[in-house]
Structure 1
Amino acid sequence: MKTSILFLLSVLFVISVNAQSPTLYNASLEAVTVYRTSAELNHSIKVNLPAGSSDIIIGNIANAVDQNSIQLSAPVNVTILSTTFVKDYLKSENKSAAYIKVEDSLNTARKELNTIQNKKSVDENLLILLDKNQTVGGVNSGLSVAELIKMADYYKAKQLELRNSIYGYQVLEAKQQTKINKLQQQLNELSADKSGTRGQLLLQIITKEATTAVFNLSYLSPSASWIPFYDLRAENTSTPLKIVYKANVVQYTGIDWKKVKLSLSTGSPSQSGTAPLLSAWFLRFGSPNSYRTQSMQNTVQTMESRAPMKTAAMDVVSDPDRNLATPNNNALNTSFDLDIPYDILSNSKAHSVTLNTYNQPVNYKYYSVPKLENDAFLLAEITNYEKLNLLPGDANIIFENTYVGKSVVNPNATTDTLNLSMGRDKKIVIKREKVAEQSGTKLLGSTKKQTFTYEIRLRNGKNEAVNLLLKDQYPVSTDKAIEVELISADGAIINTETGVLTWKLTLKPGITEKVRISYSVKYPKNQRIENL
């Protein structure tokens, strides 16, 4: 009997041990590499393992994981039998000190609102009771006229008091509700984790003996990204262009990145590494291809002649005070290793990171097409820009210590130079007008001849001479019945195939210069040219 009891107790003990929940160990985030549309997170986990088989949970990992990318390394004396990724919907909320402060204020405001609403409700009930009881007196009550008047005055005063009190509470209620709404909005902004969940790994492990082990875990998560943007600063056209290379990092992995070693990579870990193969190219009838018109930047990059240029410096110089990332180049991509640890919260907000600052030698020139825009655009032309590791992105333009607008950096050019638009310079005034006395229409038998003359006036309001590339155009005929004659181009370089006229001008300060173009178009008078 005693032996049976001992055997039963031993069985119950084994069952109770096996029924225990897996032990939870939170992973420590050590380093993150952010790609353009994903991130690689690297964790370390210290665990205490008993001899034999055991189940453990690794918590505090990202809420979305590419399970094919999970890599978990362990000591040689530990065998990992299986790994399963799940989401932790029961995690405790991580509240910052600022969040707790606003949350307390919100709770207090809600209590004050409840007090106001209760006081208003009491007065409203008293008013209802007063309305019901004001018929207690009457002709058969035995009250004298004086007593009835006294009672009427009482009801009147009491009703007025209650109604004023209720109105006052309504005003306080509205103000308090506004306060609550603002506190709630602020609380939403301070929420440290808007993703709602974190991830967990369920592990089945076997060891020959009890041990303390350190696991290293890495995986890809789609819940992070970064985009480049720039500040383009120029004091004047005689100084180098300062390019401040920045990145906006966004993450919503469910875990805050605290003091992590951060790297930004231009690569894409999910991009296929298989080389493409050509297949047969079979032609068939169909609709013709449509062609896009070139942008101004492409037009500038391929223009046949260039204005005289200034060279501000000889070599690329990094600003050591702002060089906060170390670029590492390989044959396929570039990564920027941030030199200081970073904190980036899981709140889907852009976190600005400065990667580098370059004092870049550039050739400045002005460019204007007054037929389309009556402004002069400052362009910065960069050679050998490949070494800057630039990516396409938006840019803020600061010229002569003044913010002048936004531009775009597009380094994916096929030319050996990169043109950056530095915005409009309002100190260069340009106006294009039709000269009426030298324009008109004549009928010559069965034909009509139209003459057009335009004058472009340019004034340099700056304190220094500037080089300006000015462009205009005259029409080009694609029909033998339409005859176009360029009468005057005022010294422009003429492209007869495209009709583009180019002037390379040096505008002296305070001087107004003029340029004229004149052309004629002759065609049958019974026809009409829509786009003339």
Structure 2
Amino acid sequence: MRHALALVFALTTAPAFAADLAVGSRVDAVTVYPDGATVTRILDFEAPAGDTTLVASDFPVGLDPASIRLDASAAPGVSVAGVDARQVFPEQPAPDAGLDRQVQDLKDRRAGVEGEIAALLVKQGFIERIAKSAVIGGGKGPDDKPFDPAALRAAWNTVGDDLKDVNEALRQAGLRARAIDEDIARATARSDGRPQGQQRMELRIALGAGEAVHGRIAVSYRIDDAGWTPLYDARLDSTKGALELVRRARITQSTGEDWTDVALTVSTARATAGASVPKLETKLVTLYQPPIAVGEAAPPPADAMAPMPRKAMRPAAPAAATPLPKPGREQEAKLDTGGFQSSWTLPARTSIASGPATKALRLASTTIAPDIVARTAPALQATAYLEARFDHAEDTPLFPGPVSVYRDGLYAGQADMPLATRGEPIRLGFGADDRIKVDRVVTRKLETDSGLIRSTRSDRRDFKISLRNGRPTPIKVSVEEALPVSEIADVKVEMSPQTTPPTTKNADDRRGIMVWTYDLPAGGTQEIKFGYKVSWPGDLDVELD
């Protein structure tokens, strides 16, 4: 009895050894950055009391092991001792004896057909040699006596029939060989296409529990081969003077894992950027020391320097007795601008497969009342282009990316969104407006050469620019011209006194760029005079065009 009690006591007090428990995981949430992603997987498990090691072998190999973090808040009474990650190599598929036997049988049949073809070729050669010897012999037999014509004709017909039969047999054998080759190729493809094991990452999570528990652990990690780039839609209603700007995110991921039915967040934070400013080293100016030439020395390599809205205008609601139903529209993400980054959480779960394809998702939109102006540079093209200007009014910057522009419901082309922070001006073009007529003519072009001791040459040019607004509504029109700029002391540039005073000089910090801006009423016209004179010593060669 004492021995039995001692055995029971030993069993109840012996330490519990950790047992491996295979578990599966599923992707539950993803945060995508411009240069990577953070993925959160969920592990559901049922563990007995004591120590257990959860083994999950379905993690992608591209994850950063140093970024693995666990959240065991949904596993009450469980203590996590640690987590190990290791790469698991795929197992080779088991051989398919039936498929291998089929390939070998086909190869044996192919060898038999090759032997048949070889025999037919020998027979074909023998018949051709017999016919050739008869022709070379001048129609005489081996005893130098002439062949009987009837017998010779019969023999010739026999040779021809035999050669025809041999050629047909060769053709048929070639067809059988080709068919066998195709069967071998298909069987080999099936053998090569057998499922191959996929290289994965295995996580081993050591945990302990005072009693049997049903729990859940969230595992998050950072992974490369994923990211997003900004896209925009800009829809201008030139009649109402309203611009709808839509933000989109084009997401790509080739992580090796499909994100199926996940909670997706798009963040502007950079996952792989450094946390501190790069350290700038001291730059010294030294005297150049020419290399000591031994024979023909190569030149020293050059140093490579690494470059390192106003209030929204909304149309008035219709004064109908029964309110109209709201039109369908895309769902938008919830914006969070906390801290030094912005993130959008998509309102519904989504799926993004791993691969070369991309997925574009709508993040947000805003309606702006921009300044609409028709801009033209008639020296280059006598066409006016509609442009919408507005000040960026959101805390989240506008990041560089392509913009699909629409004017009055029609697609007008592609533009580029510049990087803009809050308060910076944005200008987007919306295509040519043929209702605004632009004309530019040369009114004077005069070249002179004067002076006796030292000649002086000059070139004077005058232009007239005519504008007409053929739109049914007023529009602001802006005209750009370039006044030559001289960087040579002896070359002088003078603006013609008849020039219409410009609204802006050196526009946008572009030297010599003159801008005239007018508010043209419907049907209104405007005339601009512009000219200049360039003079220089006669012994200099100056180019103006």
TM-score, normalised on structure 1?
Answer: 0.70
SS in 2 for 1:502: strand
Q: Is the 8 A contact 1:319 1:357 kept in 2?
A: no
Task: Please state if 1:451 is matched with 2:460.
Answer: yes
SS in 2 for 1:468: strand
Please give the per-residue CA displacement for 1:406-427, whole angstroms capped at 9, x wherever unaligned: 1111242575432223344466
CA distance 1:234–1:414, change in 2 (3 Å): closer
Paired residues, number: 465
In structure 1, what is the equivalent of residue 90 of structure 2?
90
Q: Is the 8 A contact 1:28 1:45 kept in 2?
A: yes
Separation (CA, whole Å) in 2 of partners of 1:444 and 1:170: 95
Q: Is the 8 A contact 2:90 2:198 kept in 1?
A: no
SS in 2 for 1:470: strand
Task: Please state if 1:490 is matched with 2:503.
Answer: no
Separation (CA, whole Å) in 2 of partners of 1:166 and 1:88: 50
Separation (CA, whole Å) in 2 of partners of 1:197 and 1:477: 66
In structure 1, what is the equivalent of residue 233 of structure 2?
231
Please give the per-residue CA displacement for 1:314-351, whole angstroms capped at 9, x wherever unaligned: 69x99972232111221322111111111111114211
Please give the per-residue CA displacement for 1:346-367, whole angstroms capped at 9, x wherever unaligned: 1142111122333332221122
Q: Is the 8 A contact 1:130 1:155 kept in 2?
A: no
Once the 2 structures are TM-superposed, how far is the Cα of residue 523 of structure 1 from its aligned partner? 1.9
Alignment of 1:311-390 (within 5 A): 313=313, 321-386=329-394, 390=398
In structure 2, what is the equivalent of residue 133 of structure 1?
123
TM-score, normalised on structure 2?
Answer: 0.69
Alignment of 1:464-483 (within 5 A): 466-478=475-487, 480-483=489-492
CA distance 1:124–1:531, change in 2 (3 Å): farther
Q: Is the 8 A contact 1:50 1:211 kept in 2?
A: yes
Please give the per-residue CA displacement for 1:417-475, whole angstroms capped at 9, x wherever unaligned: 3222334446656565545x533233244211211223445566766554221111222
CA distance 1:161–1:366, change in 2 (3 Å): farther
Alignment of 1:8-407 (within 5 A): 22-74=20-72, 75=75, 77-90=77-90, 128-134=118-124, 135=126, 144-145=151-152, 147-158=154-165, 161=168, 197-271=199-273, 313=313, 321-386=329-394, 390-407=398-415
Larger Rg: 2
For structure 1, list consecutive stretches of 5 or more residues without a partner in the other structure.
8-13, 94-110, 287-309
Please give the per-residue CA displacement for 1:12-44, whole angstroms capped at 9, x wherever unaligned: xx9xx9898x43211122111111212121222
Q: Is the 8 A contact 2:260 2:352 kept in 1?
A: yes
CA distance 1:521–1:56, change in 2 (3 Å): same
CA distance 1:64–1:91, change in 2 (3 Å): farther
Q: Is the 8 A contact 1:123 1:165 kept in 2?
A: no
In structure 2, what is the equivalent of residue 529 of structure 1?
542
Q: Is the 8 A contact 1:228 1:393 kept in 2?
A: yes
CA distance 1:280–1:270, change in 2 (3 Å): closer
RMSD, aligned CA: 5.1
| 2:517 aligns with one of 487, 494, 504 | 504
CA distance 1:19–1:52, change in 2 (3 Å): closer
CA distance 1:86–1:125, change in 2 (3 Å): same
Separation (CA, whole Å) in 2 of partners of 1:208 and 1:278: 52
Once the 2 structures are TM-superposed, how far is the Cα of residue 208 of structure 1 from its aligned partner? 4.0
Once the 2 structures are TM-superposed, how far is the Cα of residue 508 of structure 1 from its aligned partner? 6.9
Separation (CA, whole Å) in 1 of partners of 2:208 and 2:469: 81
Once the 2 structures are TM-superposed, how far is the Cα of residue 243 of structure 1 from its aligned partner? 2.1
Separation (CA, whole Å) in 2 of partners of 1:61 and 1:395: 37
Please give the per-residue CA displacement for 1:90-145, whole angstroms capped at 9, x wherever unaligned: 2899xxxxxxxxxxxxxxxxx9xx99x999998776554333114369578x9954
Identical positions, percent: 20
Separation (CA, whole Å) in 2 of partners of 1:516 and 1:284: 52
